[in-house]
A and B are shown apart, each in its own frame.
Chain A
Amino acid sequence: MPPQMKRKDYLRWRRLLDFRPFEESCFLCYMSVPAHSSDLPPRLALWHVTKRYPGVVANNDVSLTVKPGEIHAVLGENGAGKSTLMKIIYGAVHADEGHLVWNGQTVHIANPSAARQLGIGMVFQHFQLFETLSVVENIALALEGAFDLKHLAERVSEVSARYGLPLDPQRLVHSLSVGERQRVEIVRCLLQNPQLLILDEPTSVLTPQAVRALFGTLRQLASEGVSILYISHKLHEIQALCDRATVMRDGRVTGEADPRQETAASLASMMIGRELPVCSAPPYHGESSAVLEVRGLDYHNEDPFGASLHGVDLVVNRGEVVGIAGISGNGQAELLAALSGEQLSAPGCVLIGGEPVGHLHAGKRRDKGLAFVPEERLGRGAVPAMTLAQNFLLTSHRKPALRRHGLISRTRAREFAAHCIERFDVRCNGVLSAARSLSGGNLQKFIVGREVLQEPKVMIVAQPTWGVDVGASAFLRQTLLDIARSGVGVLVISEELEELFEICDRIAVLAGGHLSMPVARALTDAEQIGLLMAGPQQQAA
């Protein structure tokens, strides 16, 4: 505090700084904080931050410095502690030890709104938006000050035009595409005049083209002096965008580097402590014996928040892996429900092994040789509070050993579950641990294992490695390739293009409820698939 200033005035002055209006703060940004200035204190510094949860140290002695105008990557695989660290910076979680220095001053960030007042904005990986509210209402919820939606709508339009993020403030969020929703999140942050913008895995839902547009916006912000913390596990993106990278593994910082000076391999070894594992499989020879066919599947969704399907045609053959790319919300959930039998259709729309099953519900389709691994592991693929043995029964109760005369055998269920755990390397405290106590990767291995043990003809898997660490991902992908080559038809629906290009023999794209013609992997590339993912409307716009 300046010595000649009275305490009351000082506090008022501080408050002014914290609540300055938009234009004034921009002015301050331009005038007093030139980008990449080295003689200024860092925008944000973390010193020896530790955060413990029961049984796990999420962040262990983490230190990190972000300069004004710097795009700083935090790189690490799932579970490395990136998200916890960001929540600490954003005030949603409090550190057990260590401290934060903001523009040269030690601060305690009590909650997200305190973080916002300091000038910290966050774009969440899982968008924190309200579907039944309009864009401007969503934004108003995160802003302080007078409640004037009309005026705010004008400001939204201004900011979105300035940063190339077109948005209609009056639209309801549920009618927006995923890319547009991300724009709402970004504009919401920008209206708070951030000096630091945190983006958590922002590209997981974007097409390659949309990623380039986002990077343009981020570079523009950085050139205006905004610091950016960019959380990702995608090496090439970080190399394309970021000035510096802090690499984390198991809650610790394992290195700091200039990503442009590093190779993907050197970054990867910092990130996972070894070489990136790769999958291998004998080539697919194009056996054309269809095990799953979809013919002209239409589905009109009654749910105003859902998508519809238009004339979907698809064939999956014995022994091959077919991938469906696309951003969730384009009919993925609806297609999966129609295939699994949670949603019924005309008999001839879906065929398993040549037999029409469109009118059969999920249980009957399993009898015909269908297995399905849904995207939601807890609550759909498994019952969270039930044990693994009980969860094993969920889809395998049709084995005569497990169910006879309407009665179930708990002992046999335990034996089968134990076998599944062993064969698929599920790390847990035995068959009696609750499904929810497993990590994402281990639960996914259990569910995939359970479905594989049904000896299906067709296996449908949605987002097989979502939120799963690198080791388990490689294991899961290899499992899918192995069962395909053993004669099962595998259909994978995923948002991760890299994954699809790694394991699929043919790739199609689902956009706006339309499914494109599947193309052999060798004949296409990410750029082409990305264009299809954007859908006809976006390409025109």
Chain B
Amino acid sequence: MIEDLIPILATTLAAATPLIFAGLGELVTEKSGVINLGVEGMMLVGAIAGFAAALQWGVAGGILAGALAGALVALPFCFLTLSLGANQPATGLALTISGIGLSAFIGQFYVSQSLPGLQPYAIPLLASIPLIGPVFFAQSAVVYLSYVAFVLVAWMLARTRWGLILRAVGESPEAAHAIGYSVIGIRYAATCFGGAMAGIAGAYLSTVYTPLWVQNMTAGRGWIAVALVVFATWKPSRLMLGAYLFGGMTILQLHAQGLGVELPSQLLAAVPYVATILVLVLISRDRKVLRLNLPASLGKPYISGG
């Protein structure tokens, strides 16, 4: 029985990977006090850029191009919200809409093409651990990259001066400015990092997960990633947990009919979105937890005097 679960769990990990990248990126962005609702758009641009680049330079080139493209399209968002103090939710939405348009526009040239994808690589020794090995360590290289990203982000936030500065700017940009930090510069960096991570998430989708380009192929994953950050109460480890949970949900609804669930497939497909709402409700109702973890300046424009 447990052996039967292994492929399901392994595919769960693969399905969770884009959420991890996009979620970690948005988590860092939000820690600096910026809420970027453009994740979906940045993912799509990353997906098409990654796909186009992967045709030329393989998956590694695709992932890199996705990161670059994601960071690049985050720049206009940064300029508007940080340099001009524009409304963050609205600008994020504009980014998503533009991202959908831009990716579809470029994507028309790539509709019928396909990529070979990426073969899983079993890490010697680790992959032979029972259960854990085949689930976690017989994956594609990009999945391993998500582990690395998690460790790096968690370590950076908790242990380094960089992380401390990021948290400080997110909590009180005024105080950070007063003691001499460039609030705007730090927020630019954090937001572009978020863009790059969303770009990687998109590129993973189009070059590894389903190695082809389909218009709107992210199907709301960018929004789910934003919701996951709230669910995670801005903690990387909880974000991982949430991402795997959602990955599991996506995979289970594919297997549901095989498991004897008598629901139409269209309704099962809606399950992850309903689950996102439920998760948001469960977390948000506890205002105390939110208050303790929410970056205090989140979403508020900051314009320094002087």
Contact = CB atoms under 8 A, between A and B. Distances in A.
In-complex A–B contact (CB below 8 Å): yes
Interface in B165-179: 165, 167-168, 171-172, 174-179
A116 interface: yes
A112 B167 contact: no
B61 to A, nearest CB: 35
A304 B288 contact: yes
Contacts of B306: 87, 92-93
A132 B178 contact: no
A132 B179 CA distance: 17
A423 to B, nearest CB: 32
Given A132-B296, A303-B291, A304-B292, A116 B180 contact: yes
A446 B94 CA distance: 39
Given A140-B164, A141-B164, A141-B179, A130 B291 contact: no
Interface residues of B, number: 22
Nearest to A138: B168
B175 A130 contact: yes
Contacts of B296: 131-132
Chain B interface main SS type: helix
A263 interface: no
Nearest to B162: A147
B160 interface: yes
Nearest to B181: A141
Contact of B160 (A116, A127, A147): A147
B179 A128 contact: yes
B287 A302 contact: yes
B164 A137 contact: yes
A22 interface: no
Nearest to B287: A302
B184 to A, nearest CB: 13
B285 interface: no
Contacts of A147: 160-161, 164
A130 B167 CA distance: 9
16 contacts: A92-B180, A112-B178, A112-B180, A124-B178, A128-B174, A129-B172, A130-B171, A130-B172, A130-B175, A131-B171, A131-B172, A132-B171, A133-B171, A141-B164, A304-B288, A305-B291
Closest 6 CB pairs of A and B: A112-B180, A128-B175, A113-B180, A128-B178, A147-B161, A93-B306
Given A92-B177, A93-B306, A141-B179, 9 more contacts: A92-B180, A112-B179, A112-B180, A116-B180, A128-B175, A130-B175, A133-B171, A141-B181, A304-B288
Interface of B: 160-161, 164-165, 167-168, 171-172, 174-181, 287-288, 291-292, 296, 306
Interface of A: 87, 91-93, 111-113, 115-116, 124, 127-133, 137, 140-142, 147, 302-305
